[in-house]
């Protein structure tokens, strides 16, 4: 095992375990790793959900068929309109599923906004038909929209393109923001490590001077600090990831009914576990390198 990564022995040339930084640094890094884990979890889950959402909505559309008003005596009844539109959709190449929405379901959606006591029976509620197609076999929506309008005037084809682009843009911006926050958390953690390392150098400057007199090189002293910081960061990192995992599990359990309806695509995958298992190791490695460079530069300035 490399000397920088070997566990600290009981007999040390530098008593770094007795420093205040050795007692508080793991807890500080655990808190930073906790926040970093939550930020990365949001990025991973949101990215996966956006991809699945885009794939699902880009392969579907909704057709809205207007109901005849009371003044239209010669207009087709709503059921005949639905059958006519449904026949056109079923004969359109590329469409694999045509599913008319139950009128009772449409009224139930309106009840949430207008109230259960609203006279919905008297309103000309349009009928909806959901259509979908396989990836790569999308129909010509523009020609289909014109054909539906010609068959039943007022029929609208909603392909979700406008609001889907806005949601995707907002989601991508939120993910990029959280990645930026993750980077700031990492930089703040490394700054804390550098500050703690400088504090250790000041606390042990007499011992370091004595080691220099005895012939110890700067690399030897830097290795001592780097090894101590590595194991402190590793312990704090695993504790922070563990707390983050428990917090996410508790959050998923507490909001499971809401999450099942609003966020069905937020799925935790197996490779996410591997990534979060490596997160404390990566943080410990960055902390070790930061401590080593801090000690080396500080000692070179002194000399």
Residue 68 to residue 152: CA distance in whole angstroms: 10
Q: Do 101 and 212 belong together in one domain?
A: no
Query: Is residue 121 in some structural domain?
Result: yes
- Quick one: what percent of the chain has pLDDT higher than 90? 18
pTM of model > 0.75: no
Q: Do 149 and 197 belong together in one domain?
A: no
Query: Is residue 3 in some structural domain?
Result: no
Query: Is residue 10 in some structural domain?
Result: no
Q: Do 116 and 25 belong together in one domain?
A: no
Name 65's bridge partners: 127
- Quick one: what percent of the chain has pLDDT higher than 70? 76
Write the DSSP string, 132-175.
EE-TT----HHHHHHHHHHHSTT-EEE-SHHHHHHHHHHHHHHH
Query: Is residue 4 in some structural domain?
Result: no
Q: Do 182 and 100 belong together in one domain?
A: no
Residue 85 to residue 128: CA distance in whole angstroms: 10
Q: Which domain-ending residue is among 159, 193, 228?
A: 159
- Provide the number of structural domains found in the chain: 2
Residue ranges of alpha helices (H) inside 214-269 are 218-254, 256-262
pLDDT digits (tens, 9 = 90+) for 38-81: 998 888 878 777 777 777 677 788 888 888 766 555 667 888 88
* N-term to C-term CA, the chain: 31
Q: Do 37 and 95 belong together in one domain?
A: no
Residue 140 to residue 48: CA distance in whole angstroms: 28
Cβ atoms within 10 Å of 208's Cβ, excluding its own: 24
In sequence order, the 6+-apart residues with CB closer than 8 A to the CB of 234 are: 280, 281, 283, 284
Q: Do 92 and 148 belong together in one domain?
A: yes
Q: Do 49 and 71 belong together in one domain?
A: no
Q: What is the structure's pLDDT at 258?
A: 57
Query: Is residue 2 in some structural domain?
Result: no
Q: Do 168 and 290 belong together in one domain?
A: yes
What is the CA 31 to chain-centroid distance, rounded?
19
Q: Do 279 and 238 belong together in one domain?
A: yes
Please give the residue range of the domain that contains residue 70.
60-159
pLDDT digits (tens, 9 = 90+) for 131-178: 888 877 778 888 888 998 888 888 888 877 777 788 888 888 988 999
Q: Do 129 and 192 belong together in one domain?
A: no
């Amino acid at each position: 095992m490399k000397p920088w990564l070997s566990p600290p022995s009981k007999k040390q040339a530098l008593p770094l375990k007795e420093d205040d930084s050795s007692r508080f640094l793991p807890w500080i890094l655990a808190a930073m790793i906790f926040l970093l884990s939550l930020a990365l979890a949001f990025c991973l889950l949101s990215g996966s959900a956006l991809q699945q959402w885009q794939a699902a909505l880009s392969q579907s559309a909704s057709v809205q068929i207007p109901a005849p008003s009371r003044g239209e005596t010669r207009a087709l009844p709503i059921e005949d309109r639905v059958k006519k539109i449904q026949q056109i959709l079923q004969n359109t190449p590329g469409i694999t599923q045509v599913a008319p929405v139950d009128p009772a379901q449409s009224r139930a959606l309106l009840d949430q906004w207008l109230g259960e006591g609203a006279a919905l029976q008297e309103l000309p509620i349009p009928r909806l038909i959901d259509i979908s197609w396989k990836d790569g076999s999308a129909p010509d929506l523009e020609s289909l929209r014109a054909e539906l309008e010609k068959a039943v005037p007022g029929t609208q084809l909603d392909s979700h393109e406008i609001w889907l682009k806005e949601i995707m843009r907002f989601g991508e911006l939120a993910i990029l923001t959280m990645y930026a926050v993750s980077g700031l958390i990492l930089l703040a953690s490394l700054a804390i490590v550098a500050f703690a390392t400088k504090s250790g150098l000041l606390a042990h400057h007499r011992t370091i001077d004595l080691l220099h007199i005895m012939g110890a090189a700067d690399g030897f002293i830097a290795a001592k600090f780097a090894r101590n910081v590595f194991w402190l960061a590793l312990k704090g990192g695993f504790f922070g990831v563990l707390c983050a995992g428990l917090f996410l599990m508790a959050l998923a359990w507490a909001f499971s009914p809401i999450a099942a309806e609003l966020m069905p695509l937020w799925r935790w995958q197996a490779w996410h576990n591997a990534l979060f298992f490596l997160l404390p190791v990566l943080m410990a490695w960055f902390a070790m390198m930061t401590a080593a460079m801090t000690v080396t530069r500080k000692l070179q300035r002194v000399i």
